[in-house]
Amino acid sequence: MNHLGTVTLETERLLLRRFQLDDAQAAYRNWMSRETVTRYMTWQPYTSLDDVEGYIKYVIESYQKEDTYYWVIEDKESGQAIGSISVIWLNEAVCSAEVGYCLSDLYWGKGIMPEALGAVIRFLFDKVGVNRIQATHDPKNPNSGRVMEKCGMQYEGTLRQAGRNNQGICDEVIRAILREE
């Protein structure tokens, strides 16, 4: 794979860019502290701005590694940080990546996340040389699955009681797309 790190990606409505420390307040307000948003996440809602700042500092430090892909999603119109999308693991042996994402509920239902995920998929296939991209979601969160479907990710199966999120032990639906598709 040709690792390039977290480079800025642009779509019609979005700027996918590296986190900056001054994103902390918007990140805290728009998605990281919101129970509606974090309901199916593997991490608890943040309860303080200081904790969000600490996490963003950690992400910023990780940008030193070229195999780190972690974008803040910025709405071009408002200039606000409204979510994040990242590669949560890479398997170099088979040129495979898993992505995860999170978006402010104030922006749900507007096609924002498929736009962001589509840009990341194209980047990973065309520039990084990934062959397979996968993502998982709790079957009780079908909207996340629809985002994946809109981006061409195909259903591969349901792993029974294979995950844990803020709802407890859960099934995980896995979807994937291959570069040739």
Q: In this prediction, what percent of the chain has a pLDDT beyond 70?
A: 100
Any bridge partners for residue 90, and if so which? Answer: 97
* Tens-digit pLDDT profile for residues 10-58: 999 999 999 999 999 999 999 999 999 999 999 999 999 999 999 999 9
Q: What Cα–Cα distance (Å) separates residue 69 from each residue in 7, 55, 126?
A: 8, 15, 15
Domain parsing of the chain, residue ranges: 9-133
pTM of the predicted protein model:
0.95
Tell me the fold of 9-133. Aminopeptidase (3.40.630)
Contact of 126 with 35, CB cutoff 8 Å: no
The pLDDT value recorded for residue 106 is 96
* Tens-digit pLDDT profile for residues 136-168: 999 999 999 999 999 999 999 999 999 999 999
